[in-house]
A = this chain, B = another copy of it.
Amino acid sequence: MHLTSQNVERLVEHFTKLPTIGRKTAHRLASYILKMPKEEVYALAEALVAVKDHVVTCSICCNIADIDPCPVCTSSKRDHSTICVVEEPNDVLALERTHEYKGVYHVLGGVISPLDGVGPNDLKIRELVARIAMGKSLSAQVMETQVGYGNKVPAVVEEVILAMNPTVEGDTTAFYIAQLLQPFGIRVTQIARGLPTGSALEYADESTLSRALEGRIRL
């Protein structure tokens, strides 16, 4: 005998498959859905389907977008000679919130993590290297032949900023990419490690503090 609605139970099952949602939260969400206006639930369902139907990966930077190439990669207001390499699409949003960065991005889709079975080939590292190589060779051709490529010329990349998470995997990935880019003779940098703003030196862990000391700057 079904003491409650099978439809509700099915929704609970689906919710529990999502990360951070346990059985109790799933039940709570389902109860909330039951009380929500029909139109809002329909809109949520449509938003879910739309994400699967219309979201694409930008063929240049590998970020998620609604069109390919994405608006950042086609923008004339961005500095296409600087590529910031990040792990996930959300990292792009975090960097944009600083309003400090005017270059373009490259989204790896993760980090090298042998324990989780993620190797360099599972990430968009090959695409990054190809992107840099193409910019270099094509712009060389343009200079040789003087053929006008207009805006289509892939920019010559001058700097690659590695902005992976400050974890063992992030550092490994950064080191791997830095090695890989050495032949191109471009500047490869990594974002600074140190004390976060508003924190207390007293409670900082040893690793953070050593990195903060190492990376000290002259005032």
Contact = CB atoms under 8 A, between A and B. Distances in A.
Contacts of A93: 3-4
Contact of A92 (B4, B21, B40): B4
By size class, the interface of chain A is 35 or more
A145 to B, nearest CB: 33
A64 B34 contact: yes
A188 interface: no
Chain copies in the assembly? 2
Interface in A80-109: 88-90, 92-93, 96
Interface in A43-66: 43-52, 54-56, 63-66
Contacts of A72: 1, 3
A47 B27 CA distance: 14
Contacts of A33: 18, 48, 51-52
Contact of A64 (B4, B14, B41, B54): B4
Contacts of A182: none
Interface of A: 1-8, 10-11, 13-15, 17-21, 25, 27-34, 36, 38, 40-52, 54-56, 63-66, 70-72, 75, 88-90, 92-93, 96
